[in-house]
Amino acid sequence: MTTTADELREEVRRRYAQSARAVTEGSRGCGCGSGACCADGESDASRFGEALYDAEQRGELPQAATLASLGCGNPTAVAELRAGETVLDLGSGGGIDVILSAKRVGPGGIAYGLDMTDEMLALARQNATDAGAANVHFLKGVIEQIPLPAGSVDVVISNCVINLSVDKPAVLTEIARVLRPGGRIGISDIVAEDHLSSEQRAERGSYVGCIAGALSKGEYEAGLEAAGFEQVSVEFTHEVADGMHGAMVKAVKTHEPERKGLPVVQPAVRAGCC
Residue at 102 is within a domain = yes
Residue at 194 is within a domain = yes
Residue at 34 is within a domain = yes
- 37-85 pLDDT, tens digit per residue, is 454 443 344 444 444 444 445 455 445 444 444 556 677 777 889 999 9
Helix (H, G, I), strand (E, B) or coil at 66: helix
Domain holding 141, by residue range, is 5-253
Half-sphere exposure of 167 (CA within 13 A, CB side): 13
Residue 210 pLDDT > 90: no
Residue 206 pLDDT > 90: no
256 Rama sector, left if φ>0, alpha if ψ -120 to 50, beta otherwise: beta
pLDDT confidence of residue 71: 53
Residue at 271 is within a domain = no
Residue at 211 is within a domain = yes
Which among 263, 266, 204, 265 has a CA at the least distance from the CA of 4?
Answer: 266
pLDDT confidence of residue 10: 80
Question: How many Å apart are CA 19 and CA 35, to the nearest integer?
Answer: 8
Query: Taking the CA atoms of the chain, what radius of gyration do you get in angstroms?
Result: 17
Question: How many Å apart are CA 101 and CA 78, to the nearest integer?
Answer: 11
Q: Domain containing 191 — which CATH number?
A: 3.40.50.150
Residue at 270 is within a domain = no
Residue at 149 is within a domain = yes
Question: How many Å apart are CA 91 and CA 77, to the nearest integer?
Answer: 17
Specify the length of the chain in residues.
274
Amino acid at 176: A
pLDDT confidence of residue 21: 73
pTM of the entire predicted model = 0.79
Asked if 72 and 96 count as a contact pair (C-beta separation under 8 A), the reply is no
pLDDT confidence of residue 256: 64
Q: How many domains does the chain have?
A: 1
Dihedral of alpha carbons 52, 62, 27, 12, sign: negative
Residue at 261 is within a domain = no
- 132-190 pLDDT, tens digit per residue, is 999 999 999 999 999 999 999 999 999 989 999 989 999 999 999 999 999 999 999 99
pLDDT confidence of residue 26: 64
What is the average per-residue pLDDT within 201-222? 90
The stretches of 132-237 forming alpha helices (DSSP H) are 168-178, 198-204, 217-226
- 74-117 pLDDT, tens digit per residue, is 777 778 899 999 999 999 988 889 999 999 999 999 999 999 99
